[in-house]
Amino acid sequence: MGRLLAWQLARAGHRVAVFEAGGADAQNSPARIAAAMLAPLAESAITEPSVVEMGRYALTRWPQLLAQLTQPVFFQQEGTLILWHRQDAPEARRFAGQLQATNETQPALPRLQALDGAGVRQLEPSLENRFTQGLYLPGEGQLDNRQLLAALLHELQAMQVQLHWGSPRAPQDFQPGQPQQPDWVFDCRGLGAQAQWPQLRGIRGEVARLHAPDVSLSRPTRLIHPRYPIYIAPKQDHVFVIGATEIESNDLSPPSVRSTLELLSAAYAVHPGFAEARILEIATQCRPTLPDNLPAIRRLGPRSLQINGLYRHGFMISPAVLDAAMELVQHQTTTLADSLDLRVESAPA
């Protein structure tokens, strides 16, 4: 969020400085390990209509934003495939019902399609006959988050934005509007903002990154399972992100054996080609989350904004949050946030 905002502010002609606690490689950020799926209909089973609308907004906004970058960033809209094993059919029916309800209330989203075995095979031939049913969510997207972070960094450097690595800051370190001080301050620190925004909590996520030359999947594939719902998000060159656990905890310790076993077994159950995959990385990060699991923009003062609570939807909703923040800078008000039901609030005095 911070990199996106710094970039757009610099493009709008502002002089921008970025203070980042970590390094240029974003090692401390969940943004680095995320799957970066842009799946508003799939996510509607577990989130509010406002987040779904922000996700729909992103699917048209990301191509415009990516077109402004010098470096290419992998982005596709090949939809999402949902699969389940026979014994999980009741859970799949419940899930399909939730998505159908979303299609009724948010008709601008492409409609869910039920697939038989032949339909699954047609979309993903390498799954052969392993699944006799599935769901297809057309138009859903994904991007390569690491390419995006690198491409944004490149733009910031090219525009001579001041970049301060290893430089933790807090909003109270600045007095916006005072002499020798910035005009505006934006706090996009994720869980780093917890001291000033104590309602924030971390939701631990563990993911595996695999290189699987024997597996070809063209789109993010989600497996419905009562204990460990997982997704397989293909990146370029047979790299796959297998994720993710969702554990109510600020715990950033290394991935557990149990989580790793569950993620890898579920991937192998979808496609046996994962047996010979090579494990590139298994990583843990915590998603910055507010009590209602919804994002918020919070005014700390007339020229100071905090943006947080992006939870498991940072890539899916950041274009909407970005554009709303830019409106606030320009006009002190945002019609976009109103229309998308994105919360803009004042910090308690």
Q: Which is nearer to ligand FAD, 19 or 274 (CB)?
A: 19
- Cβ 209 to ligand FAD shortest distance, Å: 11
- Cβ 1 to ligand FAD shortest distance, Å: 3
Q: Which is nearer to ligand FAD, 276 or 341 (CB)?
A: 341
Distance in Å from the first CA to the final CA of the chain: 25
Q: Indicate the SS3 state at residue 296.
A: strand
H-helix or E-strand containing 206?
Answer: strand 201-211
How far is it, in rounded angstroms, from Cα 72 to Cα 225? 35
Q: Which is nearer to ligand FAD, 192 or 273 (CB)?
A: 192
Q: Which is nearer to ligand FAD, 45 or 170 (CB)?
A: 170
Those residues whose C-beta lies under 8 Å from the C-beta of residue 144, and which sit 6 or more positions away, are 36, 73, 74, 75, 235, 236
- Cβ 118 to ligand FAD shortest distance, Å: 29
- Cβ 90 to ligand FAD shortest distance, Å: 26
Binding residues vs ligand FAD (CB under 6 A): 1-2, 19-22, 26, 28-31, 33-37, 168-170, 188-190, 192, 205, 207, 243-244, 285, 287-288, 308, 310-316
A 10 A CB-CB count for 107 gives 8
Q: Which is nearer to ligand FAD, 96 or 143 (CB)?
A: 143
Q: Which is nearer to ligand FAD, 28 or 76 (CB)?
A: 28
For 249, which DSSP code? B
A 10 A CB-CB count for 204 gives 21
How far is it, in rounded angstroms, from Cα 10 to Cα 160? 9
- φ, ψ dihedrals at 346, nearest 5°: -100, 145
- Cβ 89 to ligand FAD shortest distance, Å: 26
Per the structure block, which two tokens stand in for 34?
């995320």
- φ, ψ dihedrals at 270, nearest 5°: -80, -40
H-helix or E-strand containing 151?
Answer: helix 145-158
Q: Which is nearer to ligand FAD, 119 or 246 (CB)?
A: 246
Contact between residue 197 and residue 119 where contact means Cβ atoms under 8 Å apart: no
- Cβ 166 to ligand FAD shortest distance, Å: 9
**Whole-number Cα distances in Å, 206 to 57, 249, 287, 345:** 28, 12, 11, 31
H-helix or E-strand containing 38?
Answer: strand 37-38
Q: Which is nearer to ligand FAD, 117 or 176 (CB)?
A: 176
- Cβ 26 to ligand FAD shortest distance, Å: 6
Q: Please give the residue whose beta carbon sits closest to ligand FAD in the complex.
A: 192
Strands 141-143 and 75-76, sheet pairing: antiparallel
- Cβ 145 to ligand FAD shortest distance, Å: 7
